[in-house]
Chains A and B, each alone.
Chain A
Amino acid sequence: MSNSGKWSEDVTVREIPKARLVAMGWLVFLLVTAGVIAWELQMRSIGLVAGDLDDSKAHWAVERRKIAAGDYDDVVVIRSSRILFDTNLNVWKEMTGRRPIQLALAGTNPRPFLTDFAANPDFKGLLVVGVTPDIFFGDWLGIGLFAGVLDYWKDQSPSERFGHQAGLFLSRHLAFLDSSYTLTALVDQVNLPNRGEIVRPYLDVWKVWETTDDRQTFLWRGIEDNEHLREHARLAWGPFAGKPMDEAAIARACKEAADAVKKIRARGGEVVFVRSPSAGLYYENELHSAPRARTWDRLLKETGAFGINFEDYPGMRGLDVPEWSHLSRESAVKFTRAYVGVLAQDVPWLSSRLRAKDGA
């Protein structure tokens, strides 16, 4: 029994402390309000914006459920960050009358998603699969930060759905709500001498993207504008000394992709592969670790699918890749316009289904 409490029948009653609680409450309110305003202003000054919705399994689940409900234009984009950042959904809509569902997820291997669509008998649309060689042809099939996402869209609980909606509402008004700029994330960004070969968490990927409705994602302006952040992002993609990729792993990736493409085509769907631009040391390392003849060319040959490699199209080369892996916002528009133009012309599934701008 506490010293300050007393027994009242069978219930312990804790006495309210004798203090100026109302004054204390006002002080807390004023200090926290002032602190949050100052924090918000500070976050905006470094480039965070209200309306940047961050990305999450919950965002992905919303888009995935549109497919389950048949509420979409039969075009879906999958893979990881490159096709996610480099695809402008409005340009797609403008050029084809179809606005894709954006299901690409940063830091994931697309093959589990490709297999998942192949196993879905209801999917008969166009699947646009981004290919980042060192991920696609590797043995790592992880979904990284988004573990469990392939089931989450079905299993998301009512409280999680409510929490997501509440988070969306707040994110539309407050810039500081960003998983890359939490207090703990900022502490991890302090660069201190480490033992041995340890480089993380300092060299973990910091904020590189900005997300709006429908998971329309762009390279974050901060990467384009701030040299320190840009240099850090380049370092975070390293080290760029990868060994040539394992032949057996490449064979497994191509076989898996070919099986999935076959299933989707058998029911009237289509799959296309898109290799987005990369640059600098990242690109050089890709040329070394995943030579085109052993990876990209083999993938297209074994799947029989149509593919767009930026190296083959002058309009897709020479674009701005600030941190070597993702296009700037302006270049993403140009790239989307270029690759959708090719798809609309050379892929019968799409060229025969072009719609007017209004989707009619």
Chain B
Amino acid sequence: MLLGGLWHGANWTFVAWGGLHGVYLAVERWIRDRTGIRGEPVRWINRLVLGLLTYALVNVTWVFFRAHTFGGAARILQGMFGFATDAEPVLATIYMIKVGVLIASIVATQWLMRDRELEQVVSRAPWWLTGLVCAAMLFAVIVTQGSGTAFIYFQF
């Protein structure tokens, strides 16, 4: 995972990003070995809690992916964990709403599709409903028309 971090960029912060993922995986395996728990959780509440925990932990890693220095990462982490009490607000309400809607959509999609295949869903849904969803997505792509040069890997 350390090498995986370096593959993303030549900075120690990327190594930390990969290292944290490695630590998470190691801890998960250690817990499984100690407890003997195998397979996926069955109860929905366990799934939800573990899913949100994973999401929160991965968000910590992204700080190191984005920050240019460990000092910068530390400042962001302090803010994330509520230690930047005198900080000026920087995020507009509209940004928080957009992010909230996107995250809720992603979680809902993951929840819906976790044990399903796309082919199954398409086969079982009414054809007009699938068409409607596809049309909505295609229309959104057309009227959003972003710049291709923003693609992250163009930076390499």
Contact = CB atoms under 8 A, between A and B. Distances in A.
B108 interface: no
Nearest to B139: A35
Interface residues of A, number: 44
B144 A182 contact: yes
Interface in A194-241: 194-198, 200-202
B88 A32 contact: no
A4 B119 contact: yes
A277 B129 CA distance: 56
A176 B149 CA distance: 20
Interface in B85-142: 88-95, 97-98, 117-120, 122-123, 125, 127-128, 130-132, 134-135, 138-140, 142
A64 B108 CA distance: 48
B143 A19 contact: no
Interface in A17-33: 17-21, 23-25, 27-28, 31-32
Interface stretch (A130-138, A183-191, A289-297, A339-347): A183-191
A16 B93 CA distance: 43
Given A24-B131, A187-B98, A36 B139 contact: yes
Contacts of A20: 127
Contacts, number: 102
A254 interface: no
B131 A17 contact: no
A39 B143 contact: yes
B131 A28 contact: yes
A4 B120 CA distance: 7
Contacts of A23: 127-128, 131
Given A28-B131, A36-B139, A183-B140, A14 B119 contact: yes
B130 A196 contact: no
A182 B119 contact: no
A17 B119 contact: yes
A176 B143 contact: yes
A280 interface: no
B95 A18 contact: no
A19 B120 CA distance: 10
B149 to A, nearest CB: 7
A143 to B, nearest CB: 15
A230 B138 CA distance: 33
B143 to A, nearest CB: 5
B140 to A, nearest CB: 6
Contact of B90 (A183, A192, A198): A198
B71 interface: no
Given A18-B123, A27-B135, A182-B146, A200 B92 contact: yes
Nearest to A159: B148
Contacts of A197: 88-89
Contacts of A200: 92
A160 interface: yes
A15 interface: yes
B145 interface: yes
A188 to B, nearest CB: 6
Contact of A32 (B97, B122, B139, B147): B139
A201 B143 contact: no
A188 B94 contact: yes
Given A15-B119, A184-B144, 15 more contacts: A3-B120, A17-B119, A19-B130, A23-B128, A24-B131, A24-B134, A27-B132, A28-B134, A39-B139, A163-B148, A183-B143, A183-B144, A192-B93, A192-B94, A194-B92
Closest CB pairs A-B (n = 4): A27-B131, A31-B135, A17-B122, A195-B89
Interface of A: 2-5, 14-21, 23-25, 27-28, 31-32, 35-36, 39, 57, 160, 163, 176-177, 179, 182-184, 187-188, 190, 192-198, 200-202
Interface of B: 88-95, 97-98, 117-120, 122-123, 125, 127-128, 130-132, 134-135, 138-140, 142-149
